Amino acid sequence: MTQTPALTRNQTLVLGTLTKAGEPLSAYAILDRLREEGFRAPLQVYRALDKLLETGLVHRLDSLKAFVACSHPHEHAGETMVAFAICENCARVWEFSDSKIEARFSAWAEAEDFETRATTLEISGLCAACRAAAAAGKPGKPGPETSRR
Amino acid sequence: MTQTPALTRNQTLVLGTLTKAGEPLSAYAILDRLREEGFRAPLQVYRALDKLLETGLVHRLDSLKAFVACSHPHEHAGETMVAFAICENCARVWEFSDSKIEARFSAWAEAEDFETRATTLEISGLCAACRAAAAAGKPGKPGPETSRR
DNA sequence: AGCAATTGCGTTATGCTATAACATATGGCA
DNA sequence: TGCCATATGTTATAGCATAACGCAATTGCT
Ligand SMILES: [Zn+2]
Ligand SMILES: [Zn+2]
Ligand SMILES: [Zn+2]
Ligand SMILES: [Zn+2]
């Protein structure tokens, strides 16, 4: 069940940065926000992220090359397959799981005798708020802070 | 329906390289295999890939940062959500779609009023052949040619 | 044919993402 | 005390992707 073994200072800082941001951040964006705390090199961020990813407190979004704090520091223990919906406009992320989706993937894997180790389930698009704003002619937020140093 | 407008020389070379490889290749791996054909710069590969991705002849696997030829140059027109299973050991890729998986994602999107634009559905693990080989004590193939120049 | 617009191509330079390798420090424990 | 494991700091390097420029080929029109 991956007992959380109390976070170190760097891990706490990185997790705090992601939580406060409320949206996905690239490792380098995290680094920039932690320079005042003494961070100097990407490795300090990546090493902290490694541990946070292991314990499930943070997720990596492959489609964005960015990291996000787990929205329900729930039990990721239950083997649950987690999916993410990412708004291209406001960068908000919805983390959800659906037992039926999981069941279908498992069915495919069983039929093919494939042993699943990791999953990447991400859908990107426009959230309700952004679509409403767009319909009303408003510009909207700039997007996720990734690829922007 | 994205009429395929006849491929250019570079696009043909890149698609041929991916098809012949039969496994995912990074853009730089493709570049290396096309130097004898006159390729010099990553952009030549990326520009060809852009078009091939548009027309659905090639897919990008975010979890691998690599590209793979579509295994059934089928109609990707029908809005079908495509999923990939990737063997971590032999790098083979299974491309499949499941209307029930798609239906569940669509149901979530409709409930949240989220407009889906793109999907990344990838599961990685071990294929049947590699598991059997591992059980028999054999080493197996080295893995996908990504991150190796 | 003449001409403009589009698209593809080649090249150079640069930026973003991630890890290797080495050094130092710290804390638990035999 | 001496050993081991883990965290950390630092420098350098590898791997992935695009910006910006200029030129060439193609297309579509008059
Ligand atoms: Zn989570
Ligand atoms: Zn939004
Ligand atoms: Zn396909
Ligand atoms: Zn395999």
CB contact under 8 A, B96 and A109: no
State residue B135's pLDDT score.
Answer: 87
The CA angle A125-A127-A131, to the nearest 5 degrees, is 100
- pLDDT at residue number B141: 53
* Ion ligand 2: residue ranges with CB closer than 5 A: A 87, 89-90, 127, 130
- Distances from the Cα of A55 to the Cα of A73, A137, B64, B144, angstroms: 10, 42, 22, 27
A81, A101 contact by CB (below 8 A): yes
The DSSP symbol for B35 reads: G
pLDDT at A4: 62
* Residue B13 beta carbon within 7 A of nucleic strand C: no
Strand residue runs (E) in B5-126 = 58-61, 66-69, 83-87, 93-96, 115-126
**β-pairing, A83-87 with A115-126?**
parallel
Torsion angle of C-alpha atoms A26, A32, A38, A44, degrees rounded to 10 = 20
In tens, the pLDDT along A25-64 reads 999 999 999 999 999 999 999 999 999 999 999 999 999 9
Nearest CA among B24, B29, B32 for reference residue B67: B24
Residue B12's pLDDT band (cuts 50, 70, 90): very high
- Range of lowest pLDDT (A77-86, A91-100, B23-32): A77-86
Q: Which amino acid is at B58?
A: V
Q: How far is C-alpha B105 from the chain's CA centre?
A: 21
Comparison of pLDDT for B86 and A139, the residue scoring more? B86
Q: What is the pLDDT of residues B50-90, one digit of tens each?
A: 999 999 999 999 999 999 999 987 667 667 899 999 999 99
Rounded to whole angstroms, how far apart are CA atoms A128 and A145? 20
Q: Which residues of A touch B (CB under 8 A)?
A: 62-63, 83, 85, 87-88, 94, 96, 98, 100-101, 104-105, 108-109, 112-128, 131
pLDDT for res A78 = 65
Give, to the nearest 10 degrees, the angle between helix B42-54 and helix B9-21.
80
Complete domains list, chain B, with CATH: 9-135 (1.10.10.10)
Tokens in use for A145? 């802070």
Over residues B92-148, the pLDDT tens digits come to 999 999 999 999 999 999 999 999 999 999 999 999 999 999 888 765 555 556 533
